[in-house]
A and B are shown apart, each in its own frame.
Chain A
Amino acid sequence: MGNSKTLKIFAAVIFTIAIIILPHFAGEYYTTLAIKVYIMALLACSFNLLLGYTGILSFGQAAYYGIGAYTCALVLKGAVPNIWLGLLAAMVASGIIAFLFGSLCLRLTEAGHTVYFAMLTLAFGQIVYTVAFKWDSVTGGDNGMAGIPAPNIDLGFMTLHLENVYHFYFFAIVIIAVALAILYLLVHSSFGATLQAIRENHERAKFMGQNIRTFQVISFTVAGIFCGLAGGIFVAVEKFVSPELVYWSKSAEIIMVSILGGIYTFVGPLVGAAVMLLIEDYLSSYTSYWSVFLGSVLIIFVLFMPDGIVGQLQQLKQRYSKTRIDTSLCRSDE
């Protein structure tokens, strides 16, 4: 066991170093792509807090992503173009709206049918889309908002020029790493344990004296906040935002990424984000019919590997180390 733990730490260090030195080899295009992978990872991970840990299916996470993106864009284009202020505003705005929507609509999940809640979130997402599309004077309508500046950050010993994608890369990985760490600590705390208890069995959780709805609302709000953060980072790197970001197919993409990687595990959605965006980038250079591949991959996963890539790997690992199944280890992977 100790051996395995050392191995894990070693792998983590290698992985982290690889991420840090990646821009040295990747060039500007792939560095940008890498940032987008991390953004998608954050989105998928916060979505997974809902589906994988809380057991509620939201079909409208793109709404919070979009709210974050538009808020941050407005701040950056406004009087005080400060990236910290932009990200903070993005988190606050999407957090508040997620909280309001969650506390209004989450009671429907209690009735036992996830589909109603999924449809409500879908409808709400479409409302946000319509507003982004129609509120021309603020959001730019169908044109979207272009030319969003990314201001410099003075770190004291050096200045980060966020217009430079390599500089932005380091800014983004630090922010996203912190966000992921917070999410990780959250799901491994007693709060996370309660969420999973709710997911597994509503009645029992209620019996144990937990207020289910409060937990669900908190979870929904946290997911909203991090989706908003992801949106804010996206706007700063892409320097562009349009209503397409909020359309329901974006929500579907987030779900797809999570399940591809595997819900019920923390790293699953992260792996899913990387796999999906890389496949998309690779295929779209060669053919315009790449979504047929994506659809097929999706169906294959649902039919044969419903636990996703990471879930499947864990199962394989268990099968090949039958002699010493260490249950505690498997648990801690969750």
Chain B
Amino acid sequence: MKLKKLIHVLMIALLMGAFAIPAMSGPAVASDEIKIGTLFVMTGKLGGYGKSGWQAVQLAVDEINASGGIMGRKVVAFNEDTKAKPEIGVQITKKYILKEKVDFILGPTASSVGLAVSDVCRQYKKIMVSTQSATDVMTGPQFHRYVFQVLSNALQHARSGASLMADLPYKKWMGLGPDYSYGHSSWDSFQKKIQELRPDVTIVGALFPKLMTADYTPYINKIIEAKPDAVWCPLWGGDAVTFIKQALPFGVFDKIKFVFPVGASMEVLVPVGKAMPEDIYMSARYFFTSPNSPMNRKFVKDYYARFKEYPSYMAEESYAGVYFLKAAVERAGTTDTEKIIDNIEKFPLAWETPEGWKIMGPGDHLVIEDVVWGKTTYSEKYGFAILKNLISIQAEEIGRTPEEIKAIRDNYEKKNK
């Protein structure tokens, strides 16, 4: 008897609860501040990127607030450590959106985290500014209208690297990259482009050790045995440091030409220091010695004064990311997500950054910019290797073609139906 009554009570409660659902989702209260939630890797081997990113965001936010904020509204930024784990990234993003009610998401270090966070932003219709995730999958097959990639991505680096390398005598190529989205897409794009430009090139293999591998020794020996002329090596941050240090005593850099599409970051150059082999090809999204513009000089000076180190490209991209938001909000005249996106898609948004003017591509939401390459050389002045013989590969050569952008848009429209 009692049990029956109990079940009845529960059933009624459950139904009441279920019917009351629609009443619950009220509009979020608009606050006076513009909130940016950033997600960086702050600890572990890859923590250097996050440290640079978060420092630069703080610098940018303080500058903006000192000059009156964005449309008179104060900007605040939060940061949490994703530990390079996509699962943690998803949790933090949800917390930012649902609990902290942020207006924008910025950052994700590591493309695996970036893709996961990007998908949460798609679900909740929040703008995500990718300043540190460089896989071209993000603005390619998994493109959606809420994502903006303000840094040159894997595709641009691979294409620029391939067009640079096509003129050099290296014929046997090998790949060594981290085993996740960025590493694979960098290698795939490079391989495709170099074979297109140089049909006589052969590929002798590709290796994909896990992100944050402790010991690269077996991979190093596999490279030695494969005897390639050159290796395309999209390892980054602490992984690149570990790899270079472990590979040095094996003498691989004497015999094989290494090409690091994202090698020239402070997070690599400084820790490797004097040990860095000469004349390795490296690219950077930005190198603090160039360009010699007032904005860059000021940025480097302020950054150095505050953090006692030279800005890495991840610092500059994250700084540029905050200013992208400022430019986008001010041009649209609102913080409303959809209006900002419509505004950018209607007419490309250009904004000034330390590395020069950047333009946001209205079709695929990928930044249009040049990529700088150079060769390593040790600098007594700085105490670490810097880049010499800088060559900048033009944006038009390395970005997506109009057909590719159209294919991405079509795919997106189809998915949305």
Contact = CB atoms under 8 A, between A and B. Distances in A.
A and B touch in the complex (CB under 8 A): yes
Interface of A: 9, 12-13, 16-17, 20-21, 23-24, 27-29, 32, 133-134, 136, 141-144, 146-147, 158, 163-164, 166-167, 170, 174, 238-240, 242, 244-245, 285, 288
Interface string B58-91: 0000000000000000000000110001111010
Interface stretch (B13-21, B286-294, B322-330): B13-21
Contacts of A141: 179-181
Contacts of A9: 2, 6
B234 to A, nearest CB: 14
Contact of B98 (A12, A20, A27, A242): A27
Nearest to A288: B81
Interface string B260-301: 000000000000000000000000000000000000000000
B14 A170 contact: yes
Contacts of A167: 18, 21
Interface in B103-144: 111-112, 115-116, 118-120, 122-123, 142
Contacts of A174: 14
Contacts of B85: 242, 244
A144 B13 contact: no
B94 A13 contact: no
Given A9-B2, A13-B9, A29-B94, A143 B112 contact: yes
Interface in B1-31: 2, 6, 9-10, 13-14, 16-21, 24-25
A27 B219 CA distance: 50
Interface of B: 2, 6, 9-10, 13-14, 16-21, 24-25, 42-43, 80-81, 85-88, 90, 94-95, 98-99, 111-112, 115-116, 118-120, 122-123, 142, 179-181, 184, 210-211
Which label, helix, strand, loop or mixed, suits the secondary structure of the A interface? Answer: helix
Name the 5 nearest CB pairs between A and B, nearest first: A146-B119, A29-B98, A142-B180, A29-B99, A244-B87
Given A141-B179, A142-B210, A147 B24 contact: no
Nearest to B85: A244
Given A29-B94, A170-B18, A239 B13 contact: no
A13 B13 CA distance: 10
B115 A143 contact: yes
A150 B283 CA distance: 42
Most chain B beta-carbon contacts within 10 A, residue among A32, A146, A163: A146
B90 A13 contact: no
Given A242-B87, A244-B87, A288-B81, A23 B116 contact: no
Nearest to B96: A29
Contacts of A136: 184
A245 B87 contact: yes
A20 B112 contact: no
A240 B99 contact: no
Nearest to A147: B119
15 contacts: A9-B6, A17-B9, A20-B13, A20-B17, A27-B98, A141-B179, A142-B210, A143-B115, A146-B115, A146-B119, A147-B119, A164-B21, A166-B21, A239-B120, A244-B86
A17 B13 contact: yes
A166 B116 CA distance: 22
Given A143-B115, A240-B86, A16 B180 contact: no
Contacts of B86: 142-144, 240, 242, 244
Contact of A240 (B13, B119, B142, B180): B119
A12 B3 CA distance: 12
Nearest to A284: B80
Given A13-B6, A143-B111, A244-B87, 15 more contacts: A9-B2, A12-B6, A20-B13, A23-B21, A29-B95, A32-B94, A134-B179, A142-B86, A146-B115, A164-B25, A166-B21, A166-B24, A239-B120, A242-B86, A288-B43
B83 to A, nearest CB: 9
A70 to B, nearest CB: 13
A282 to B, nearest CB: 12
Nearest to A17: B13
A134 B94 CA distance: 27
Contacts of A163: 123
